[in-house]
Amino acid sequence: MAELPILSIEEVTKNFAFQGSTVTALASADLTIRKGEFICLIGPSGCGKSTLLRMIAGFETATEGRLKMWDKPVSGPGPERGMVFQDYGLFPWLTVSQNIGFGPAARGAGKAEVAKTADRFTAMVGLDRFRDAYPHQLSGGMKQRVAIARVLANDAEVVLMDEPFGALDAMTRENLQAELLEIWAANKLTVLFVTHAIEEAILLADRIVVMSPGPGRIVSDETVPLARPRDPTSPEFNALRRRFSGMLGSHH
Amino acid sequence: MTTLTGRAASARQAVLAILVPLAGLLAWHLVTSGRPYSLIPPPAEVAVQLWDLAFGGVWEDAFSATLLTHILASLVRVYGGFALAALVALPLGMLIGRVRVVRELLDPFLQILRPVPVTAWLPLSMIVFGLGPRSAFFLVFLGAFFPILLNTIFGVRNVEPRLFEAAQMLGVSRQALFWKVVLPASLPSIFTGLRLGLGFAWVVIVVGEMTGVQTGLGAIIMEARQLSRTDIVIAGMIVIGVLGFLSDRIVQLIGQHLLRWSPQHG
Protein backbone atom coordinates (compact mmCIF):
# COMPACT_ATOMS: atom_id res chain seq x y z
CA MET A 1 0.00 0.00 0.00
CA ALA A 2 2.58 2.51 -1.08
CA GLU A 3 0.24 4.66 -3.13
CA LEU A 4 -3.27 5.87 -2.42
CA PRO A 5 -5.73 4.16 -4.81
CA ILE A 6 -7.74 6.49 -7.05
CA LEU A 7 -10.87 4.43 -6.40
CA SER A 8 -11.65 2.04 -3.62
CA ILE A 9 -14.85 0.04 -3.39
CA GLU A 10 -15.32 -1.62 -0.03
CA GLU A 11 -17.98 -4.23 0.69
CA VAL A 12 -20.48 -2.43 -1.52
CA THR A 13 -23.98 -3.91 -1.70
CA LYS A 14 -26.85 -2.57 -3.75
CA ASN A 15 -30.44 -3.65 -3.18
CA PHE A 16 -33.37 -2.63 -5.33
CA ALA A 17 -37.01 -2.80 -4.36
CA PHE A 18 -38.78 -4.71 -7.11
CA GLN A 19 -42.51 -5.47 -7.01
CA GLY A 20 -42.62 -5.51 -3.26
CA SER A 21 -39.53 -7.64 -2.71
CA THR A 22 -35.85 -6.80 -2.45
CA VAL A 23 -33.46 -7.76 -5.22
CA THR A 24 -29.72 -7.72 -4.62
CA ALA A 25 -28.07 -6.28 -7.73
CA LEU A 26 -24.62 -6.36 -6.20
CA ALA A 27 -23.46 -8.22 -3.11
CA SER A 28 -20.47 -7.13 -1.06
CA ALA A 29 -18.15 -6.05 -3.86
CA ASP A 30 -14.50 -5.15 -3.15
CA LEU A 31 -12.30 -3.49 -5.77
CA THR A 32 -9.25 -1.26 -5.62
CA ILE A 33 -8.18 0.74 -8.66
CA ARG A 34 -4.92 2.60 -9.05
CA LYS A 35 -4.38 5.69 -11.13
CA GLY A 36 -3.69 4.88 -14.78
CA GLU A 37 -5.19 1.41 -14.75
CA PHE A 38 -7.48 0.19 -17.51
CA ILE A 39 -10.02 -2.11 -15.90
CA CYS A 40 -12.66 -4.11 -17.73
CA LEU A 41 -15.75 -5.31 -15.88
CA ILE A 42 -17.16 -8.31 -17.68
CA GLY A 43 -20.07 -10.62 -17.05
CA PRO A 44 -23.53 -11.65 -18.25
CA SER A 45 -26.54 -9.35 -17.84
CA GLY A 46 -27.75 -9.07 -14.28
CA CYS A 47 -24.26 -9.46 -12.80
CA GLY A 48 -24.29 -5.92 -11.44
CA LYS A 49 -21.50 -4.52 -13.62
CA SER A 50 -23.52 -1.54 -14.79
CA THR A 51 -24.89 -0.99 -11.29
CA LEU A 52 -21.35 -0.85 -9.94
CA LEU A 53 -20.33 1.62 -12.63
CA ARG A 54 -23.38 3.81 -11.99
CA MET A 55 -22.62 3.86 -8.26
CA ILE A 56 -19.05 4.99 -8.96
CA ALA A 57 -20.48 7.65 -11.28
CA GLY A 58 -22.71 8.79 -8.41
CA PHE A 59 -26.01 8.13 -10.20
CA GLU A 60 -26.94 5.48 -7.62
CA THR A 61 -26.10 5.20 -3.94
CA ALA A 62 -24.82 2.04 -2.29
CA THR A 63 -27.16 0.31 0.14
CA GLU A 64 -24.16 -0.81 2.19
CA GLY A 65 -20.41 -0.30 2.02
CA ARG A 66 -18.17 2.55 0.93
CA LEU A 67 -17.16 4.01 -2.42
CA LYS A 68 -14.21 6.39 -2.29
CA MET A 69 -12.19 8.41 -4.76
CA TRP A 70 -8.80 9.54 -3.50
CA ASP A 71 -10.04 8.35 -0.10
CA LYS A 72 -13.02 10.75 -0.15
CA PRO A 73 -16.55 9.30 -0.23
CA VAL A 74 -18.33 9.58 -3.57
CA SER A 75 -21.45 11.71 -3.17
CA GLY A 76 -23.31 12.27 -6.41
CA PRO A 77 -22.05 12.75 -9.95
CA GLY A 78 -19.02 14.94 -10.61
CA PRO A 79 -16.76 16.02 -13.45
CA GLU A 80 -13.75 14.11 -12.09
CA ARG A 81 -15.66 10.92 -12.94
CA GLY A 82 -16.77 11.21 -16.56
CA MET A 83 -19.22 8.73 -18.01
CA VAL A 84 -19.54 7.49 -21.57
CA PHE A 85 -22.93 5.89 -22.23
CA GLN A 86 -23.79 3.25 -24.79
CA ASP A 87 -26.55 5.52 -26.15
CA TYR A 88 -24.15 8.52 -26.22
CA GLY A 89 -26.30 10.97 -24.22
CA LEU A 90 -25.21 13.91 -26.37
CA PHE A 91 -27.19 17.15 -26.22
CA PRO A 92 -29.05 17.22 -29.54
CA TRP A 93 -29.39 21.02 -29.52
CA LEU A 94 -25.63 21.58 -29.37
CA THR A 95 -23.07 21.20 -32.15
CA VAL A 96 -20.12 18.83 -31.87
CA SER A 97 -17.85 21.53 -30.53
CA GLN A 98 -20.52 22.91 -28.17
CA ASN A 99 -21.11 19.42 -26.81
CA ILE A 100 -17.39 19.01 -26.21
CA GLY A 101 -17.19 22.44 -24.57
CA PHE A 102 -20.33 21.85 -22.47
CA GLY A 103 -18.55 20.75 -19.29
CA PRO A 104 -16.04 23.61 -19.07
CA ALA A 105 -18.82 26.10 -19.96
CA ALA A 106 -21.17 24.66 -17.33
CA ARG A 107 -18.41 24.97 -14.73
CA GLY A 108 -17.95 28.64 -15.52
CA ALA A 109 -14.86 28.74 -17.73
CA GLY A 110 -14.46 31.85 -19.89
CA LYS A 111 -15.60 31.91 -23.50
CA ALA A 112 -12.12 31.92 -24.99
CA GLU A 113 -10.99 29.08 -22.75
CA VAL A 114 -14.07 27.00 -23.60
CA ALA A 115 -13.44 27.52 -27.32
CA LYS A 116 -9.78 26.58 -26.98
CA THR A 117 -10.55 23.44 -24.99
CA ALA A 118 -13.34 22.43 -27.38
CA ASP A 119 -11.03 22.90 -30.38
CA ARG A 120 -8.28 20.85 -28.81
CA PHE A 121 -10.47 17.87 -27.96
CA THR A 122 -12.47 18.05 -31.19
CA ALA A 123 -9.13 17.66 -32.95
CA MET A 124 -8.04 14.86 -30.61
CA VAL A 125 -10.96 12.68 -31.71
CA GLY A 126 -10.53 13.72 -35.36
CA LEU A 127 -13.80 15.60 -35.80
CA ASP A 128 -12.52 19.03 -36.92
CA ARG A 129 -14.50 18.81 -40.12
CA PHE A 130 -17.71 18.11 -38.16
CA ARG A 131 -17.27 20.69 -35.42
CA ASP A 132 -20.45 22.54 -36.45
CA ALA A 133 -22.56 19.43 -37.13
CA TYR A 134 -25.44 18.46 -34.85
CA PRO A 135 -25.57 14.98 -33.27
CA HIS A 136 -28.38 13.74 -35.52
CA GLN A 137 -26.10 14.32 -38.51
CA LEU A 138 -23.37 12.02 -37.14
CA SER A 139 -22.78 8.27 -37.35
CA GLY A 140 -22.75 6.18 -34.18
CA GLY A 141 -18.96 6.03 -34.11
CA MET A 142 -18.67 9.80 -34.46
CA LYS A 143 -21.23 10.35 -31.70
CA GLN A 144 -19.21 8.14 -29.38
CA ARG A 145 -16.05 10.09 -30.23
CA VAL A 146 -17.87 13.27 -29.18
CA ALA A 147 -18.99 11.58 -25.96
CA ILE A 148 -15.41 10.57 -25.14
CA ALA A 149 -14.04 14.00 -26.06
CA ARG A 150 -16.50 15.91 -23.88
CA VAL A 151 -15.53 13.85 -20.84
CA LEU A 152 -11.81 14.44 -21.48
CA ALA A 153 -12.38 18.15 -22.19
CA ASN A 154 -13.87 18.32 -18.71
CA ASP A 155 -10.66 17.04 -17.03
CA ALA A 156 -12.12 13.70 -16.01
CA GLU A 157 -9.56 11.66 -14.09
CA VAL A 158 -11.62 8.52 -14.20
CA VAL A 159 -13.49 7.60 -17.37
CA LEU A 160 -16.43 5.26 -16.80
CA MET A 161 -17.60 3.51 -19.94
CA ASP A 162 -20.82 1.50 -20.02
CA GLU A 163 -20.62 -0.82 -23.04
CA PRO A 164 -19.63 2.20 -25.11
CA PHE A 165 -18.99 0.33 -28.34
CA GLY A 166 -21.83 -2.17 -28.01
CA ALA A 167 -24.08 -0.44 -30.56
CA LEU A 168 -21.38 0.06 -33.21
CA ASP A 169 -20.47 -2.07 -36.22
CA ALA A 170 -17.36 -4.25 -35.99
CA MET A 171 -15.04 -2.04 -38.03
CA THR A 172 -15.94 1.17 -36.21
CA ARG A 173 -15.58 -0.67 -32.91
CA GLU A 174 -12.03 -1.79 -33.76
CA ASN A 175 -11.03 1.73 -34.75
CA LEU A 176 -12.46 3.22 -31.58
CA GLN A 177 -10.80 0.58 -29.41
CA ALA A 178 -7.43 1.50 -30.90
CA GLU A 179 -8.10 5.23 -30.51
CA LEU A 180 -9.25 4.77 -26.94
CA LEU A 181 -6.01 2.95 -26.04
CA GLU A 182 -3.98 5.79 -27.56
CA ILE A 183 -5.93 8.45 -25.70
CA TRP A 184 -5.72 6.46 -22.47
CA ALA A 185 -1.94 6.11 -22.72
CA ALA A 186 -1.34 9.71 -23.84
CA ASN A 187 -3.49 11.25 -21.09
CA LYS A 188 -2.65 8.86 -18.23
CA LEU A 189 -6.35 8.19 -17.70
CA THR A 190 -7.94 5.67 -15.42
CA VAL A 191 -10.61 3.74 -17.30
CA LEU A 192 -13.39 1.50 -16.03
CA PHE A 193 -14.91 -0.22 -19.00
CA VAL A 194 -18.01 -2.41 -18.82
CA THR A 195 -18.42 -4.94 -21.60
CA HIS A 196 -19.82 -8.37 -22.24
CA ALA A 197 -17.39 -9.05 -25.08
CA ILE A 198 -14.49 -11.21 -23.87
CA GLU A 199 -12.23 -10.31 -26.77
CA GLU A 200 -12.74 -6.60 -26.18
CA ALA A 201 -11.82 -7.00 -22.51
CA ILE A 202 -8.61 -8.94 -23.28
CA LEU A 203 -7.64 -6.44 -25.95
CA LEU A 204 -8.09 -3.38 -23.75
CA ALA A 205 -7.64 -4.21 -20.08
CA ASP A 206 -4.74 -4.20 -17.65
CA ARG A 207 -7.05 -6.12 -15.32
CA ILE A 208 -10.24 -8.02 -16.01
CA VAL A 209 -12.85 -8.21 -13.28
CA VAL A 210 -15.28 -11.06 -13.90
CA MET A 211 -18.75 -10.77 -12.41
CA SER A 212 -21.60 -13.21 -12.02
CA PRO A 213 -25.35 -12.82 -11.52
CA GLY A 214 -27.86 -13.97 -8.93
CA PRO A 215 -26.91 -12.02 -6.81
CA GLY A 216 -24.40 -9.87 -8.71
CA ARG A 217 -20.87 -10.33 -7.37
CA ILE A 218 -17.20 -10.23 -8.31
CA VAL A 219 -15.88 -13.74 -8.92
CA SER A 220 -12.40 -13.05 -10.22
CA ASP A 221 -9.99 -10.16 -10.68
CA GLU A 222 -6.85 -10.82 -12.67
CA THR A 223 -4.12 -9.04 -14.57
CA VAL A 224 -3.89 -9.60 -18.32
CA PRO A 225 -0.31 -10.85 -18.84
CA LEU A 226 0.00 -9.77 -22.48
CA ALA A 227 2.29 -6.98 -23.73
CA ARG A 228 0.77 -4.12 -25.75
CA PRO A 229 -0.09 -3.78 -28.55
CA ARG A 230 -1.96 -7.06 -28.35
CA ASP A 231 -2.58 -9.40 -31.22
CA PRO A 232 -6.03 -11.03 -31.07
CA THR A 233 -4.80 -13.83 -33.38
CA SER A 234 -1.89 -14.91 -31.18
CA PRO A 235 -2.05 -18.25 -29.33
CA GLU A 236 -1.62 -16.47 -25.96
CA PHE A 237 -4.62 -14.23 -26.68
CA ASN A 238 -6.64 -17.28 -27.70
CA ALA A 239 -5.70 -19.19 -24.59
CA LEU A 240 -6.95 -16.29 -22.46
CA ARG A 241 -10.11 -16.04 -24.47
CA ARG A 242 -10.80 -19.73 -23.90
CA ARG A 243 -10.17 -19.41 -20.18
CA PHE A 244 -12.43 -16.40 -19.66
CA SER A 245 -15.05 -17.94 -21.85
CA GLY A 246 -15.07 -21.03 -19.68
CA MET A 247 -15.20 -18.91 -16.54
CA LEU A 248 -18.19 -16.94 -17.79
CA GLY A 249 -19.93 -20.00 -19.17
CA SER A 250 -19.84 -21.86 -15.88
CA HIS A 251 -21.62 -19.00 -14.13
CA HIS A 252 -24.57 -18.75 -16.46
CA MET B 1 -29.53 23.71 -52.25
CA THR B 2 -29.61 26.14 -55.13
CA THR B 3 -29.00 23.49 -57.74
CA LEU B 4 -31.23 22.96 -60.73
CA THR B 5 -32.81 19.89 -59.20
CA GLY B 6 -33.61 21.87 -56.05
CA ARG B 7 -35.23 24.62 -58.06
CA ALA B 8 -37.14 22.13 -60.21
CA ALA B 9 -38.42 20.41 -57.08
CA SER B 10 -39.72 23.63 -55.57
CA ALA B 11 -41.34 24.62 -58.90
CA ARG B 12 -43.07 21.25 -58.97
CA GLN B 13 -44.22 21.78 -55.39
CA ALA B 14 -45.66 25.18 -56.23
CA VAL B 15 -47.54 23.83 -59.25
CA LEU B 16 -48.99 20.93 -57.25
CA ALA B 17 -50.00 23.23 -54.41
CA ILE B 18 -51.94 25.58 -56.68
CA LEU B 19 -53.74 22.88 -58.69
CA VAL B 20 -56.60 22.15 -56.28
CA PRO B 21 -57.42 25.82 -55.50
CA LEU B 22 -57.48 26.53 -59.24
CA ALA B 23 -59.86 23.62 -59.84
CA GLY B 24 -62.07 24.87 -57.00
CA LEU B 25 -62.08 28.37 -58.45
CA LEU B 26 -63.06 27.00 -61.86
CA ALA B 27 -65.89 24.90 -60.40
CA TRP B 28 -67.10 27.91 -58.41
CA HIS B 29 -67.09 30.02 -61.57
CA LEU B 30 -68.95 27.43 -63.64
CA VAL B 31 -71.65 26.89 -61.02
CA THR B 32 -72.33 30.55 -60.21
CA SER B 33 -71.65 32.82 -63.19
CA GLY B 34 -74.32 33.71 -65.72
CA ARG B 35 -77.17 33.07 -63.28
CA PRO B 36 -79.15 36.18 -62.43
CA TYR B 37 -80.41 34.94 -59.05
CA SER B 38 -77.46 33.01 -57.70
CA LEU B 39 -77.24 33.39 -53.91
CA ILE B 40 -73.52 32.83 -54.14
CA PRO B 41 -71.64 35.43 -56.19
CA PRO B 42 -69.17 34.26 -58.86
CA PRO B 43 -65.41 34.59 -58.20
CA ALA B 44 -65.01 37.63 -60.47
CA GLU B 45 -67.54 39.60 -58.41
CA VAL B 46 -65.81 38.59 -55.18
CA ALA B 47 -62.49 39.70 -56.63
CA VAL B 48 -63.92 43.12 -57.50
CA GLN B 49 -65.40 43.36 -54.02
CA LEU B 50 -62.09 42.40 -52.45
CA TRP B 51 -60.43 45.21 -54.44
CA ASP B 52 -63.06 47.71 -53.33
CA LEU B 53 -62.77 46.53 -49.74
CA ALA B 54 -59.03 47.06 -49.87
CA PHE B 55 -58.66 50.22 -51.97
CA GLY B 56 -62.17 51.61 -52.66
CA GLY B 57 -63.07 53.32 -55.93
CA VAL B 58 -65.63 50.76 -57.14
CA TRP B 59 -68.80 50.88 -55.03
CA GLU B 60 -67.96 53.75 -52.69
CA ASP B 61 -70.18 52.38 -49.93
CA ALA B 62 -69.67 51.97 -46.17
CA PHE B 63 -67.33 49.02 -46.75
CA SER B 64 -65.04 50.64 -49.33
CA ALA B 65 -61.38 50.87 -48.38
CA THR B 66 -61.98 49.64 -44.81
CA LEU B 67 -60.07 46.36 -45.06
CA LEU B 68 -56.86 47.62 -43.47
CA THR B 69 -58.73 48.90 -40.41
CA HIS B 70 -60.42 45.53 -39.94
CA ILE B 71 -57.22 43.59 -40.52
CA LEU B 72 -55.34 45.71 -37.99
CA ALA B 73 -58.10 45.31 -35.42
CA SER B 74 -58.08 41.53 -35.82
CA LEU B 75 -54.26 41.34 -35.87
CA VAL B 76 -54.01 43.24 -32.60
CA ARG B 77 -56.51 40.88 -30.96
CA VAL B 78 -54.95 37.72 -32.42
CA TYR B 79 -51.37 38.58 -31.50
CA GLY B 80 -52.33 40.29 -28.25
CA GLY B 81 -54.41 37.35 -27.07
CA PHE B 82 -51.79 34.93 -28.30
CA ALA B 83 -48.95 36.77 -26.56
CA LEU B 84 -50.87 36.92 -23.30
CA ALA B 85 -51.71 33.21 -23.59
CA ALA B 86 -48.03 32.39 -24.16
CA LEU B 87 -47.01 34.60 -21.25
CA VAL B 88 -49.28 32.66 -18.88
CA ALA B 89 -49.19 29.18 -20.42
CA LEU B 90 -45.39 28.82 -20.81
CA PRO B 91 -44.39 29.36 -17.16
CA LEU B 92 -47.50 27.56 -15.92
CA GLY B 93 -46.80 24.58 -18.17
CA MET B 94 -43.19 24.43 -16.97
CA LEU B 95 -44.33 24.49 -13.35
CA ILE B 96 -46.99 21.83 -13.91
CA GLY B 97 -44.53 19.68 -15.81
CA ARG B 98 -41.63 19.91 -13.35
CA VAL B 99 -43.17 20.55 -9.91
CA ARG B 100 -45.23 17.72 -8.56
CA VAL B 101 -47.33 19.74 -6.12
CA VAL B 102 -48.36 22.18 -8.81
CA ARG B 103 -49.22 19.31 -11.14
CA GLU B 104 -51.36 17.55 -8.54
CA LEU B 105 -53.04 20.85 -7.70
CA LEU B 106 -53.86 22.05 -11.21
CA ASP B 107 -53.80 19.15 -13.63
CA PRO B 108 -57.21 17.60 -12.84
CA PHE B 109 -58.89 21.02 -12.99
CA LEU B 110 -57.29 21.85 -16.33
CA GLN B 111 -58.23 18.44 -17.72
CA ILE B 112 -61.88 19.23 -17.00
CA LEU B 113 -61.67 22.68 -18.59
CA ARG B 114 -59.87 21.43 -21.67
CA PRO B 115 -62.76 19.64 -23.46
CA VAL B 116 -65.02 22.72 -23.15
CA PRO B 117 -65.03 24.31 -26.62
CA VAL B 118 -63.85 27.90 -26.72
CA THR B 119 -67.12 28.97 -28.35
CA ALA B 120 -69.07 27.67 -25.34
CA TRP B 121 -67.30 30.35 -23.30
CA LEU B 122 -68.83 33.11 -25.43
CA PRO B 123 -71.98 33.79 -23.36
CA LEU B 124 -70.08 33.74 -20.09
CA SER B 125 -67.32 35.88 -21.51
CA MET B 126 -69.89 38.45 -22.68
CA ILE B 127 -71.29 38.65 -19.15
CA VAL B 128 -67.87 39.03 -17.57
CA PHE B 129 -66.14 41.20 -20.15
CA GLY B 130 -69.19 42.84 -21.72
CA LEU B 131 -70.17 42.95 -25.36
CA GLY B 132 -67.20 44.08 -27.40
CA PRO B 133 -63.53 43.62 -28.17
CA ARG B 134 -62.52 42.56 -24.65
CA SER B 135 -64.67 39.48 -24.98
CA ALA B 136 -63.06 38.66 -28.35
CA PHE B 137 -59.64 39.14 -26.81
CA PHE B 138 -60.50 36.74 -24.00
CA LEU B 139 -61.69 34.06 -26.42
CA VAL B 140 -58.47 34.33 -28.44
CA PHE B 141 -56.48 34.04 -25.23
CA LEU B 142 -58.41 30.92 -24.24
CA GLY B 143 -58.09 29.37 -27.69
CA ALA B 144 -54.32 29.79 -27.74
CA PHE B 145 -53.85 28.96 -24.06
CA PHE B 146 -54.52 25.21 -23.99
CA PRO B 147 -52.40 24.10 -26.97
CA ILE B 148 -49.44 26.07 -25.58
CA LEU B 149 -49.97 24.80 -22.04
CA LEU B 150 -50.41 21.12 -22.94
CA ASN B 151 -47.44 21.00 -25.31
CA THR B 152 -45.22 22.79 -22.79
CA ILE B 153 -46.18 20.27 -20.10
CA PHE B 154 -45.51 17.42 -22.50
CA GLY B 155 -42.16 18.90 -23.50
CA VAL B 156 -40.74 19.50 -20.05
CA ARG B 157 -41.99 16.14 -18.76
CA ASN B 158 -40.51 14.09 -21.57
CA VAL B 159 -36.86 15.03 -21.39
CA GLU B 160 -34.71 11.96 -21.90
CA PRO B 161 -33.45 10.99 -18.40
CA ARG B 162 -30.03 10.21 -19.87
CA LEU B 163 -29.51 13.92 -20.59
CA PHE B 164 -29.85 14.75 -16.89
CA GLU B 165 -27.19 12.16 -16.05
CA ALA B 166 -24.93 13.48 -18.81
CA ALA B 167 -25.27 17.07 -17.61
CA GLN B 168 -24.71 16.15 -13.96
CA MET B 169 -21.58 14.13 -14.60
CA LEU B 170 -20.25 17.10 -16.58
CA GLY B 171 -20.69 19.34 -13.56
CA VAL B 172 -24.15 20.93 -13.91
CA SER B 173 -25.75 21.52 -10.52
CA ARG B 174 -29.31 20.40 -9.76
CA GLN B 175 -30.58 23.98 -9.80
CA ALA B 176 -29.03 24.66 -13.22
CA LEU B 177 -30.51 21.55 -14.85
CA PHE B 178 -33.68 23.39 -15.81
CA TRP B 179 -31.86 26.02 -17.89
CA LYS B 180 -29.15 23.75 -19.24
CA VAL B 181 -31.26 20.70 -20.08
CA VAL B 182 -35.02 20.94 -19.58
CA LEU B 183 -35.59 24.16 -21.48
CA PRO B 184 -33.55 23.42 -24.61
CA ALA B 185 -34.74 19.80 -24.73
CA SER B 186 -38.41 20.80 -24.61
CA LEU B 187 -38.10 23.59 -27.17
CA PRO B 188 -39.50 21.51 -30.08
CA SER B 189 -42.67 20.68 -28.11
CA ILE B 190 -43.04 24.24 -26.86
CA PHE B 191 -42.71 25.43 -30.41
CA THR B 192 -45.38 23.03 -31.64
CA GLY B 193 -47.66 24.39 -28.93
CA LEU B 194 -47.06 27.98 -29.99
CA ARG B 195 -47.77 27.15 -33.60
CA LEU B 196 -51.01 25.32 -32.76
CA GLY B 197 -52.00 28.12 -30.38
CA LEU B 198 -51.59 30.78 -33.02
CA GLY B 199 -53.63 28.68 -35.45
CA PHE B 200 -56.44 28.42 -32.90
CA ALA B 201 -56.23 32.14 -32.24
CA TRP B 202 -57.07 32.76 -35.89
CA VAL B 203 -60.00 30.32 -35.75
CA VAL B 204 -61.41 31.86 -32.60
CA ILE B 205 -61.03 35.53 -33.58
CA VAL B 206 -63.90 35.35 -36.05
CA VAL B 207 -66.27 33.86 -33.47
CA GLY B 208 -65.13 36.43 -30.93
CA GLU B 209 -65.73 39.36 -33.24
CA MET B 210 -69.17 38.21 -34.37
CA THR B 211 -71.11 39.81 -31.56
CA GLY B 212 -70.96 43.39 -30.42
CA VAL B 213 -67.69 44.31 -32.09
CA GLN B 214 -67.53 47.12 -34.69
CA THR B 215 -64.20 46.36 -36.34
CA GLY B 216 -62.36 43.21 -37.23
CA LEU B 217 -62.65 40.54 -39.90
CA GLY B 218 -65.26 38.64 -37.92
CA ALA B 219 -67.31 41.81 -37.48
CA ILE B 220 -67.24 42.66 -41.17
CA ILE B 221 -68.35 39.15 -42.11
CA MET B 222 -71.23 39.29 -39.63
CA GLU B 223 -72.33 42.73 -40.78
CA ALA B 224 -72.19 41.73 -44.45
CA ARG B 225 -74.28 38.66 -43.68
CA GLN B 226 -77.01 40.79 -42.16
CA LEU B 227 -77.00 42.95 -45.32
CA SER B 228 -76.95 39.85 -47.54
CA ARG B 229 -73.63 41.01 -49.02
CA THR B 230 -72.33 37.47 -49.60
CA ASP B 231 -69.51 38.80 -51.78
CA ILE B 232 -68.08 40.59 -48.74
CA VAL B 233 -68.54 37.47 -46.59
CA ILE B 234 -66.46 35.44 -49.03
CA ALA B 235 -63.88 38.21 -49.43
CA GLY B 236 -63.50 38.28 -45.63
CA MET B 237 -63.06 34.50 -45.52
CA ILE B 238 -60.32 34.69 -48.13
CA VAL B 239 -58.48 37.40 -46.20
CA ILE B 240 -58.62 35.36 -42.97
CA GLY B 241 -57.33 32.30 -44.79
CA VAL B 242 -54.40 34.15 -46.33
CA LEU B 243 -53.47 35.97 -43.11
CA GLY B 244 -53.64 32.77 -41.07
CA PHE B 245 -51.46 31.02 -43.64
CA LEU B 246 -48.86 33.80 -43.72
CA SER B 247 -48.81 33.97 -39.94
CA ASP B 248 -48.18 30.22 -39.73
CA ARG B 249 -45.42 30.40 -42.35
CA ILE B 250 -43.61 33.09 -40.39
CA VAL B 251 -43.77 31.00 -37.22
CA GLN B 252 -42.56 27.97 -39.16
CA LEU B 253 -39.58 29.87 -40.56
CA ILE B 254 -38.62 31.07 -37.08
CA GLY B 255 -38.90 27.47 -35.89
CA GLN B 256 -36.73 26.13 -38.67
CA HIS B 257 -34.07 28.64 -37.71
CA LEU B 258 -34.22 28.06 -33.94
CA LEU B 259 -34.58 24.28 -34.18
CA ARG B 260 -31.95 23.55 -36.82
CA TRP B 261 -30.65 20.84 -34.51
CA SER B 262 -33.90 18.89 -34.42
CA PRO B 263 -34.34 16.27 -37.14
CA GLN B 264 -38.11 16.96 -37.09
CA HIS B 265 -37.81 20.70 -37.62
CA GLY B 266 -34.47 21.66 -39.15
ipTM: 0.92
- For the stretch A6-31, pLDDT in tens is 999 999 999 998 888 999 999 999 99
Instruction: Flag whether residue A94 sits within 8 Å of chain B, measured between CB atoms.
Output: yes
pLDDT for A81 equals 96
**What is the CATH number for B248?**
1.10.3720.10
- For the stretch A200-235, pLDDT in tens is 999 999 999 999 998 999 999 999 999 999 999 999
pLDDT for B3 equals 57
pLDDT for A252 equals 44
In a domain, B28, yes or no: no
Cross-chain Cβ contact B165/A85 below 8 Å: yes
* Cβ neighbours of B181 in A, within 8 Å: 91
- For the stretch B185-241, pLDDT in tens is 999 999 999 999 999 999 998 888 988 888 999 999 999 999 999 999 999 999 999
- For the stretch B45-100, pLDDT in tens is 999 999 999 999 888 888 999 999 999 999 999 999 999 999 999 999 999 999 99
In a domain, B92, yes or no: yes
The CA R_g of chain B, rounded to the nearest whole Å, is 23
Overall number of domains in chain B: 1
Cross-strand bridge partners of residue A159: A82, A191
Instruction: Flag whether residue A58 sits within 8 Å of chain B, measured between CB atoms.
Output: yes
pLDDT for A250 equals 60
In a domain, B136, yes or no: yes
Q: Is residue B1 predicted with pLDDT exceeding 60?
A: no
Q: How far apart are CA B197 and CA B237, in angstroms?
A: 20
Instruction: Flag whether residue A149 sits within 8 Å of chain B, measured between CB atoms.
Output: no
pLDDT for B264 equals 77
* Cβ neighbours of A95 in B, within 8 Å: 261
Cross-chain Cβ contact A92/B261 below 8 Å: yes
Domain edges within chain A: 7-80+157-249, 92-153
* Cβ neighbours of A136 in B, within 8 Å: 261-263
pLDDT for B76 equals 95
Q: Which amino acid is at A75?
A: S
- For the stretch A87-121, pLDDT in tens is 999 999 999 999 999 999 999 899 999 999 999 99
Instruction: Flag whether residue A143 sits within 8 Å of chain B, measured between CB atoms.
Output: no
Domain A7-80+157-249 classification at class level: alpha beta
The secondary structure of chain B in percent helix, strand, coil, rounded to multiples of 5, reads 80, 0, 20
% of chain A with per-residue pLDDT over 90: 90
- Interchain CB contacts (distance < 8 Å): A and B: 70
Q: B172: distance to nearest CA of chain A, Å?
A: 6
Report how far apart, in Å, the C-alpha atoms of A237 and of each of A191, A195, A197, A250, B188 are: 21, 17, 14, 20, 50
From the list A89, A103, A106, the residue facing B165 with the nearest CB is A89
Instruction: Flag whether residue B177 sits within 8 Å of chain A, measured between CB atoms.
Output: no
% of chain A with per-residue pLDDT over 70: 98
Cis peptide bond prior to A73, omega within 30° of 0: no
Three-state SS sequence of chain A: CCCCCCEEEEEEEEEEEECCEEEEEEEEEEEEECCCCEEEEECCCCCCHHHHHHHHHCCCCCCEEEEEECCEECCCCCCCEEEECCCCCCCCCCCHHHHHCHHHHHCCCCHHHHHHHHHHHHHHCCCHHHCCCCHHHCCHHHHHHHHHHHHHHCCCCEEEEECCCCCCCHHHHHHHHHHHHHHHHHHCCEEEEEECCHHHHHHHCCEEEEEECCCCEEEEEEECCCCCCCCCCCHHHHHHHHHHHHHHHCCC
Instruction: Flag whether residue A91 sits within 8 Å of chain B, measured between CB atoms.
Output: yes
DSSP type of residue B180? I
> Residue A136 half-sphere exposure, CB side, CA atoms within 13 Å?
10
B201: containing domain: 66-258
Cross-chain Cβ contact B169/A58 below 8 Å: yes
For the segment A47-57, the average pLDDT, to the nearest whole number, is 95
Confidence label for B132 from pLDDT (cuts 50, 70 and 90): confident
Cross-chain Cβ contact B170/A94 below 8 Å: no
User: A50, A80, A91, A137: which to substitute to probe chain B, counting the most B Cβ within 10 Å?
Assistant: A91
* Cβ neighbours of A85 in B, within 8 Å: 162, 165-166
In a domain, B39, yes or no: no
